[in-house]
Structure 1
Amino acid sequence: MSDTELAVKKLIIEALKLEDITPAEIDSDEPLFGSGLGLDSIDALELGVAIRRQYGIRFETVNDEVKAHFANVRSLARFIESQRGG
């Protein structure tokens, strides 16, 4: 697990107030929405705001590309790294 993946897991837990889960319990390849972690569209909005605050990355429109970035922790971490030049 990369440092960014761990940071994303911690951000998800903090931003969405998931007090009953630890970063170790979130599989980096587990879907964030639906049958995986079980997040919903409101959670997606809150997570987007948290990412903007933490990393300065804005999601102007929600399209299939953005949805793909939010598929799981690993894809979100890769997107953040690409935006940060890391």
Structure 2
Amino acid sequence: MQNLHRELKEFIIETMNLEDITPDEIGDDTPLFADDGLGLDSIDALELVLALKKKYGIVLEANDEKSREHLRSVATLATLVESSRSA
């Protein structure tokens, strides 16, 4: 699972064009959208959802509470990716 966490951190950095951040600077449980985390916004969320669909075939519904929970951190994204791979 650590390889997947690293892959997702690199994916987020690339997708969000976070040039000043390295994967090592993102904790597995760091909030992606909170001010005390990466500080991504709603536009970033849309970009991330589209990129997840393209790369992993994962479809998330807009304005769905479960979708928000899946996008909370690298750890929650990893759980989503793993569950979609098992399905």
Using the size of structure 1 for normalisation, the TM-score is 0.92
Residue-by-residue CA offset, 1:15-49 (whole Å, 9 max, x unaligned) = 01000111011011111112211111111111111
Number of aligned pairs? 86
Per mean C-alpha deviation after superposition, the further-off stretch among 53-62 and 24-33 is 53-62
Q: Which amino acid counterpart does residue 39 of structure 1 have in structure 2? A: L
Change (3 A) 1:17 1:33: same
**1:7: which partner in 2?**
7
| 1:25-64 matches, cutoff 5 A | 25-34=25-34, 35-64=36-65
Taking every aligned residue pair, what percent have the same amino acid on both sides? 48
Of structures 1 and 2, the one scoring higher in RCO (CA 8 A, sep 6+) is: 1
State the superposition RMSD in angstroms: 1.4
Q: Note the C-alpha offset of 1:2.
A: 1.4
Q: Note the C-alpha offset of 1:61.
A: 3.5
The answer for unaligned runs of 5 or more in structure 1 is none
* Cα distance in 2 between the residues matched to 1:5 and 1:44: 18
**1:73: which partner in 2?**
74
Residue-by-residue CA offset, 1:22-80 (whole Å, 9 max, x unaligned) = 10110111111122111111111111111111111111343111101111100111111
Q: Secondary structure at the match of 1:32?
A: coil
Q: Which amino acid counterpart does residue 6 of structure 1 have in structure 2? A: R
